Amino acid sequence: MGAFSLITDAERRVPRVVVVGLASCFGCQIQITNAEPYLMQILGQIDLQYWQLVTSEDMPDEFDVAIIEGAVTTREAEQTVRAVRERAAHVMAIGACATTAGVTGMAAPGLGGRVGEVYEGAAPESSGELIEPRPVSAVIEVDSEVLCCPIDPMDFVAALQRVLFGSNRLPDTRTLCSDCKRNETECFYNDATLCLGLVTRAGCGARCVNLGRPCNGCAGLSPDANVEAARMACATYGVDVAAFDKALEMFNQVNPALAESGDE
């Protein structure tokens, strides 16, 4: 779904927007505030009904666009996103937690045992009924995504505008190295250093590599990633293949594509 198309001209109004936070560090919601020079302009384009970070009110029952941050880690959260889906014309997932289960996803394997490690006995009731962390898209259909951990404020603004004004742009699935090459930084593989750019979705402009650090894969595994070929590349360049697989888990632990490729 591209534009804010479920609203007919007759009912056209300023779109009502809610921002929902699930299991996350709230960093992506904070990143929205980092679009500070433009915040008033953005708020002028929407009717912001609810922003979890800044209110203690309950979420309203009616809205048009729902922006969801965070992974689904409880039965309650699952119900929340289902209810959101029923009401929203457009659901946008923002940040690695919401789009890949992110860092919280690392808790998925052997979840029961981990709860015991953290709490004595069972988790307190206030934690809710814990389930294996999963991205929002594993529970409901998601219309658009803003990638990375955390999101880039201006990526968010652009994504919101696509919802408000429409866009026929398809999501990019190519992996990061092409963007990295444009920056003309040296490839980490030249000195046998692991970098996940080989399989990670392009879009961030190879931000970490620009800062001198290898890509951690926070934009998530590309649906067109060729993990087998990337393992082969690691072997060729003297990078430990097991270390590559391990590193991939940080943001892709619950990605079914990795389970299929015999990663575990």
Applying CB under 8 A, the residues found at the interface with another protein are 35, 37-38, 41-42, 44-45, 154, 157-158, 161, 164-165, 167, 169-182, 184-187, 189-191, 197-199, 202, 222, 224-226, 228-230, 232-233, 236-237
Q: Which is nearer to ligand SF4, 153 or 217 (CB)?
A: 217
Residue 198 binds ligand SF4 (CB under 6 A)? yes
> Of 8 and 236, which has the nearer Cβ to another protein?
236
Closest by CA to 133, choosing from 86, 180, 166, 96, is 96
Smallest gap from residue 99 Cβ to another protein (A): 18
Within 61-210, strands assigned E span 65-69, 72-74, 90-94, 130-134, 144-146
Distance of closest approach, residue 195 Cβ to ligand SF4, in angstroms: 3
Sequence-distant (≥ 6) Cβ neighbours of residue 262 within 8 angstroms: none
Partner interacting with residue 207 (select from ligand SF4, another protein, none; CB below 5-8 Å by kind): ligand SF4
Can you read off the two tokens belonging to residue 207?
């931000």
How far apart CA 87 and CA 128 sit, in angstroms, is 23
Q: Is 117 exposed, middle or buried (0-12, 13-18, 19+ CB in 10 A)?
A: exposed
Give least dist CB 185 to ligand SF4, A.
7
Residue 216 touches which member of another protein, ligand SF4, none, C-beta under 5-8 Å by kind: ligand SF4
Shorter beta-carbon distance to another protein: residue 6 or 43 = 43
- Are the beta carbons of 3 and 168 closer than 8 angstroms? no
Q: For residue 1, what are its two tokens?
A: 């779904």
Q: Is 102 in the site for ligand SF4 (CB under 6 A)?
A: no
Per-position b or e across 13-23, b if 16+ CB within 10 A of its CB:
eebbbbbbbbb
31 is an interface residue for ligand SF4 by CB under 6 A: no
Compare residues 103 and 160 and give the one whose CB is closer to another protein. 160
Q: Which is nearer to ligand SF4, 3 or 187 (CB)?
A: 187
Kindly indicate which of the ranges 44-52, 68-76, 80-88, 208-216 contains the residues binding ligand SF4, using the contact rule CB under 6 A: 208-216
Q: Does 188 bind ligand SF4 (CB under 6 A)?
A: yes
Q: What is the DSSP string of 20-57?
A: EE-BS-SHHHHHHHTTHHHHHHHHTTSEEEEEGGG--S
